[in-house]
Amino acid sequence: MEHLDIAARRHGSALVMGVLRESDTGHYYNSILALGKRASWYSKRHLVPFAEYFPVPRFVRRWLKEMNLPYSSFTPGPAHQRPLPVAGLELGPSVCYEVAYGDYMLRMLPKADALVNVTDDAWFGSSSARYQQFQMARMRSQEEGRYMIVSTDNGVSGVIGPEGQVVAEAPVMVRYVLRSSVTPMKGMTPFARVGNGLAVILAALAAAAAFALRLVGLRRTMSRR
């Protein structure tokens, strides 16, 4: 990594990449490393069950070790992490399918003035999952009112505008240099202010209204009899 850091500093550039990181305590993290004026880290918070961690009780883990059955798990990153300072931007980072969880990304606001998602889509194969993930990224950009840079190894890489529009997109499964520009954004969208709470309340009210209408219908039917 040192030679990449030196090259970035020499050219006045910044690098953002996905790496696997081992802490001093022996824990492993699925992380993003930003290199430029200084190195900064983000560690993935929402891990994928059976892919990034083994969701079993501790006694099962102890039994696996006693039976010498290999397994490994990442450690989730801290719940509250700071945006990555990169090239004059404050990037709100996410790794892979974290982009599906809007409430996780809202924690970076209002300080984050742009977003970045780094992912490895190789395990999706040729399925539609890579395109689905890019659509999720477009939704997150619109919810938070921020540009998002999406970088994948063989998925859909691109730059998304604050209204969810695709500003630039690289072809899939092709080595490609994508050039675009990102404008730092400030402020909070209505969704960023209320989060998923409003959607939950509206869904609960709709369910209550449906139940009430059903109950009224049953009472009318019973009264006619």
**pTM of the full predicted structure?**
0.82
Kindly give the parts of the chain with pLDDT less than 70.
Answer: 70-71, 224-225
Q: Are 77 and 45 in contact (CB under 8 A)?
A: yes
Are 66 and 115 found together in one domain?
A: yes
The predicted structure's pLDDT at residue 200: 86
Are 126 and 219 found together in one domain?
A: no
Are 167 and 212 found together in one domain?
A: no
Domain count for the chain, please give it: 2
Are 64 and 113 found together in one domain?
A: yes
Q: Backbone dihedral region of 156: left (phi > 0), alpha (psi from -120 to 50 degrees) or beta?
A: beta
Are 119 and 225 found together in one domain?
A: no
What is the chain's mean pLDDT, rounded?
87
The predicted structure's pLDDT at residue 38: 80
Are 222 and 142 found together in one domain?
A: no
The predicted structure's pLDDT at residue 90: 93
Are 36 and 58 found together in one domain?
A: yes
Residue indicated by tokens 């404050």 = 90
Are 124 and 207 found together in one domain?
A: no
Q: Are 115 and 138 in contact (CB under 8 A)?
A: no
Are 50 and 8 found together in one domain?
A: yes
Are 99 and 200 found together in one domain?
A: no
Are 79 and 166 found together in one domain?
A: yes
Q: What share of the chain is helix, strand, coil (3-state, %, to 5)?
A: 35, 20, 40
Are 222 and 149 found together in one domain?
A: no
45, amino acid identity? R
Range of the domain at 49: 2-194
